[in-house]
Amino acid sequence: MASAPYGKKMDCAATMTDREVIDFCRNGYLMLPEVVPNEINEQVVDYLERHDSTYEPTPIVGESFFVDGVLMNPQAAGAVRSLLGRDFTLPLIISNHRGPLPFDKPQNWHRDGGTIYTPALEYLQVFYYPEECTEDMGPTVVLPGSHFMRNKAPMMAHLGSIRGTVSTAAPAGTIFLTVYGIWHRRSRAPSGPRGKSAYRNLLKYNYWRTKPPVRDWVRQDDIDFNTIDFNPPAGVFEQFQGALAAARMFTWLCGIENEYEKRGGQNWPIALTVRDGVNQEGAPRSLANA
């Protein structure tokens, strides 16, 4: 590759379905286990060990094996395309959460710097494990639905174990996508290294949107948006507030946020037990039953 394609606009086939996009809105993350081939993982680890062991190995974007095998991996790029639309940009910075092994205590809960509260999904935070990360190697832990929870880092630092958290422990080649503001932390790592590296390598980078949102992922004609459960799974929200936030994000992604009416009461999407194909009060026109 002659030069690194920092910020280059890319396109590919969208691979996520309506239900998968809704699940992403609810959870704030998507796991893609073992999507990067082993030969690419090995090249990435070799690069990190031999060429750039820093916490910001951004020049790896100049390597075609990394762009083709990781950044434009078909499964990962297809999910990015689904959520950010066509002509999404490649990352400008590659970070590496190169954690030592073992690691005595967990990191504090936090949302990454620069987080803003918005239903708009203008960019994605993406993570990649080039080597296996077991439960005892300090995987990142996320709190599903927490991208809708307003809090500040000093008010989160005292928190320990939280009910409903999910570990991202995964095989080599796993990529996971998140909403930037999701609550997360590195867990404790009692184990020493298992693979070639003496560290837990976890590469992190952002893709950015360049086009207005539109529902051009894989549509499901059999879906009834009146009976879909939009509630995030964490169970830490005031009743229905998580569902309202997830539905607003979904309508934004569909490009129909102007049709979203948060009128209160038994308003869409909280009355999901409606019957006989009727529409909930306030159901967006573009998603309503005929």
Please report, for the chain, the start and end positions of each structural domain, with discontinuous segments joined by +: 9-208, 241-287
Burial (CB < 10 A; 0-12, 13-18, 19+), residue 148, is buried
Alpha-carbon distance of 191 to 223, in angstroms, equals 45
So what's the pLDDT on residue 167? Answer: 94
Rounded (10°) CA dihedral 133, 142, 20, 134: 10
So what's the pLDDT on residue 155? Answer: 61
* Sequence-ordered list of residues with C-beta below 8 angstroms from that of 40, at least 6 positions apart, any chain: 65, 66, 69, 70, 173
Alpha-carbon distance of 204 to 99, in angstroms, equals 13
So what's the pLDDT on residue 1? Answer: 45
Beta strands in 188-271 (DSSP E): 199-200, 203-208
So what's the pLDDT on residue 81? Answer: 98
Q: Quick one: how far is CA 200 from the chain centroid? A: 20
Locate 86 and state its tokens.
Answer: 């066509």
Q: How far is CA 258 from CA 271, 283, 289, in A?
A: 20, 12, 18
CATH of domain 9-208: 2.60.120.620
So what's the pLDDT on residue 263? Answer: 85
So what's the pLDDT on residue 183? Answer: 84
Q: 13-49 b/e with 16+ CB inside 10 Å = b? A: ebbbebebbbbbbbbbbbbbebbbeeebbbbbbebbe
pLDDT along the chain (290 residues), means of 10: 85 98 97 98 94 89 97 98 98 92 78 85 97 92 86 63 84 97 84 78 97 98 94 76 94 97 90 93 93
